[in-house]
Amino acid sequence: MKTIIKNGHIFTESEDYQADILIQDEKIVCIGQNLCVEDARVIDAGGCYILPGAVDVHTHMDLDVGISRAVDDFYDGTVAAACGGTTSIVDHMAFGPAGVPLHHQFEVYKKLAEGKAVVDYGFHGTAQHVNEEILNELETMAEDGIPSVKVYLTYGFKLNDADVFRILRKMKEIGGVTAFHCENHDVVEFLKQDFRSRGKTAPIYHARSRPNLAEAEAVDRVLNIARMAEDAPVYIVHLSCKESLEVVRDARRHGQKNIFVETCPQYLVLTEECYHREDALKYIMSPPLRTAQDCEALWEGLADGSIQVVATDHCPFHYGKEKQMGKDDFTACPNGAPGVEERLMLLYSEGVVKGKITMSQMVKALCTEPARIYGLCPKKGGIWPGADADLVFLDPKAGYVMTHEQMHSAVDYTAYEGMLIQGEIRQVLLRGNVIAKDNQFLGEKGSGRFIRRSTL
């Protein structure tokens, strides 16, 4: 089956131009002027911008957090992703029972995603303890298409510095990437208990108990350990504040290589003012929302290349149900918020249209860099011959008000209710098939495929 896309304006991480795209057998085979192929179906892009399908390398579908479970499974969550222009996700697997090998969670997640996902997907391993078996398994996980592992410096299965070092050294040896959730666990736990003991249990104390420096200190620590592990690749997830960004810039100024930084839309466009709202529980996530100055610093970090990736940390809990566990005490509220569907349009409308970043910078942060860092390239992340024909048509002239009503996630809210959005997604193609059109999902349950990712 051959398809030609006509009348679109292509945007990549480095250029933009008018051209036709020829697709055959799910792949882009040719990009050129006035392409004409007999027996090809023609799709009219109608003057839209054509971007690579976006890649979200930080989601938590069906995440089991003990006290509850994220409400999007791999079907609802990836339908939301598809309608929002995301055609590949790399999901962070949950912790398993204490002591399990890395492959235990891989087997669990295969079952969670197979037959459900509607976009292509991969998984990050989750290191919850370290011994020789786990270190050897990092290698076999990479051979199985999972060349990345996540380490938490807080929460139940946080790792100590020696184990962080061992993981980093091994991941460097095999050409893999270690992702870190950076917060100083002991300080955060102390502050949480201190606020609770003084009856300060309102949502704003969630933010007060996780100060900027608790994040920046942990980022600094991890970067130093990575440096001792001979510049082992480090990927900082959901970096949220200016102090952390300064730590990263300092390390790079001192010559440290292989540092990758991710932020998320919520840290770019929302502030801790949300914790004073009546519906503040919607915004309980870790790290917490910060100040307008932090948002500005993050936009600048994106524009000057200090930040490589914008992912979502999509981890939804119903406001009307699970989030209410925190109504009398913020420490009892499950952490996380939805965002997989909103990401692309938020970045375009709040970033590109408002002149904070360019289209190319947006494509780089949403598509090409995440695909490159996590081994999805050259199949995913760009518009070039040989890539999967994953494409998004964005109509820059349209606009709408973002509301929960138009979303596809199973969750009962969007954190961006009422936000004016400039631009609108018209069509989304996954491997040449139209899976979303004018906010309607047209794909098939289970048509997403596991992506075997490669090492760096």
Nearer to ligand URP, 60 or 408 (CB): 60
3-state secondary structure of 366: helix
In whole angstroms, the minimum distance from the beta carbon of 150 to ligand URP comes to 8
Site residues (CB under 6 A) for ligand URP, limited to 315-334: 315
Give the strand pairing for 2-11 and 41-44. Answer: parallel
Q: Where are the beta strands (DSSP E) in 255-409?
A: 259-263, 309-310, 391-401
Q: Is 313 in the site for Zn ion (CB under 5 A)?
A: yes
Q: How far apart are CA 362 and CA 261, in angstroms?
A: 15
Q: How far apart are CA 352 and CA 346, in angstroms?
A: 9
Q: Is 241 in the site for ligand URP (CB under 6 A)?
A: no
In whole angstroms, the minimum distance from the beta carbon of 91 to Zn ion comes to 10
Nearer to ligand URP, 189 or 250 (CB): 189
Phi, psi of 312 (to 5 degrees): -115, -30
Answer for which of 336, 375, 423, 443 binds ligand URP (CB under 6 A) is 336
Residue 427 β-bridge partners? 393, 437
For residue 285, the partner it binds in ligand URP, Zn ion, none, with Cβ less than 5 to 8 A by kind, is: ligand URP
Tell me the residue number closest to ligand URP, measured at CB: 335
Q: Is 181 in the site for ligand URP (CB under 6 A)?
A: yes
Q: Which stretch binds Zn ion (CB under 5 A): 47-55, 173-181, 217-225, 388-396?
A: 173-181
Q: How far apart are CA 274 and CA 253, in angstroms?
A: 35
Answer for which of 124, 150, 170, 181 binds Zn ion (CB under 5 A) is 181
Nearer to ligand URP, 49 or 205 (CB): 205
The Cβ of residue 190 has, within 10 Å, a number of other Cβ atoms equal to 12
Site residues (CB under 6 A) for ligand URP, limited to 268-307: 285-286
- For residue 52, cis peptide bond before it (omega within 30 degrees of 0): no
Q: Where are the beta strands (DSSP E) in 163-300?
A: 177-181, 234-236, 259-263
Give the DSSP H/E element, type plus range, for residue 122. strand 120-126
Residue with tokens 């925190």: 326
Answer for which of 217, 313, 341, 369 binds ligand URP (CB under 6 A) is 313
In whole angstroms, the minimum distance from the beta carbon of 179 to ligand URP comes to 10
For residue 9, the partner it binds in ligand URP, Zn ion, none, with Cβ less than 5 to 8 A by kind, is: none
Q: How far apart are CA 61 and CA 316, in angstroms?
A: 8
Nearer to ligand URP, 236 or 425 (CB): 236
State the maximum Cα–Cα separation within the chain, in Å, rounded to a whole number. Answer: 75
Residue with tokens 């969550």: 77
Q: How far apart are CA 60 and CA 198, in angstroms?
A: 33
In whole angstroms, the minimum distance from the beta carbon of 410 to Zn ion comes to 18
Nearer to ligand URP, 11 or 195 (CB): 195
For residue 335, the partner it binds in ligand URP, Zn ion, none, with Cβ less than 5 to 8 A by kind, is: ligand URP
In whole angstroms, the minimum distance from the beta carbon of 269 to ligand URP comes to 16
In whole angstroms, the minimum distance from the beta carbon of 239 to ligand URP comes to 12
The Cβ of residue 213 has, within 10 Å, a number of other Cβ atoms equal to 14
In whole angstroms, the minimum distance from the beta carbon of 334 to ligand URP comes to 8
In one letter, which amino acid is 295? C
For residue 336, the partner it binds in ligand URP, Zn ion, none, with Cβ less than 5 to 8 A by kind, is: ligand URP
- For residue 378, cis peptide bond before it (omega within 30 degrees of 0): yes
- For 134, 150, 240, 343, the CA distances from 226, given in Å and listed in that order, are 19, 14, 20, 30
Answer for which of 105, 201, 335, 447 binds ligand URP (CB under 6 A) is 335
Q: Is 344 in the site for ligand URP (CB under 6 A)?
A: no
**DSSP structure class, residue 325:** G
For residue 176, the partner it binds in ligand URP, Zn ion, none, with Cβ less than 5 to 8 A by kind, is: none
Nearer to Zn ion, 218 or 269 (CB): 218
Give the strand pairing for 86-92 and 120-126. Answer: parallel
Residues in the chain: 456
For residue 78, the partner it binds in ligand URP, Zn ion, none, with Cβ less than 5 to 8 A by kind, is: none
In whole angstroms, the minimum distance from the beta carbon of 21 to ligand URP comes to 35
Residues binding ligand URP (CB under 6 A): 60, 181, 285-286, 313, 315, 335-336
Residues binding Zn ion (CB under 5 A): 181, 313
